[in-house]
Structure 1
Amino acid sequence: MNTQEVANKLVEFCREGKNLDAIDELYADDVVSHEPKGSHMELSEGKEAAIAKNQQWYDMVEEVHSGQVSDPIVSGNFFSVTMDMDVTYKGQGRSMMSEVCVYEVKEGKIVTETFFYSLPQ
Structure 2
Amino acid sequence: MTTIEVANKLVELCRQGNIDEVQATLYAEDAQSIEANEMMGARVVIGLDAIKGKAAAFQAGVEAFHSATISEPIVAGNSFAITWIMDATFIGRGRMTIEEVCVYQVKDGKIVLEQFFY
**TM-score category, normalised to shorter length:** over 0.9
Q: Which runs of 5+ in 2 are unaligned?
A: none
* Number of aligned positions between the proteins: 117
Structure 2 counterpart of 1:62:
63
Structure 2 counterpart of 1:19:
19
SS of match in other structure, 2:102: strand
Normalising by structure 2, we get a TM-score of 0.96
- How far is the alpha carbon of 1:38 from its aligned partner? 3.5
Task: Quote the Cα distance in structure 2 between the aligned partners of 1:75 and 1:104.
Answer: 10
- How far is the alpha carbon of 1:20 from its aligned partner? 1.5
Structure 2 counterpart of 1:35:
35
Structure 2 counterpart of 1:81:
82
Question: What do the CA deviations read for 1:43-102 (whole angstroms, capped 9, x no partner)?
Answer: 000000110000000000010000010000000000000000000011221000000000
Structure 1 counterpart of 2:7:
7
Q: RMSD value over aligned CA atoms? A: 0.8
Normalising by structure 1, we get a TM-score of 0.94
- Quick one: percent identity of the two aligned structures? 47
SS of match in other structure, 1:32: strand
SS of match in other structure, 1:31: strand
Structure 1 counterpart of 2:48:
47
Runs of 4+ residues over 3 Å off in structure 1:
none
Task: Quote the Cα distance in structure 1 between the aligned partners of 2:22 and 2:82.
Answer: 14
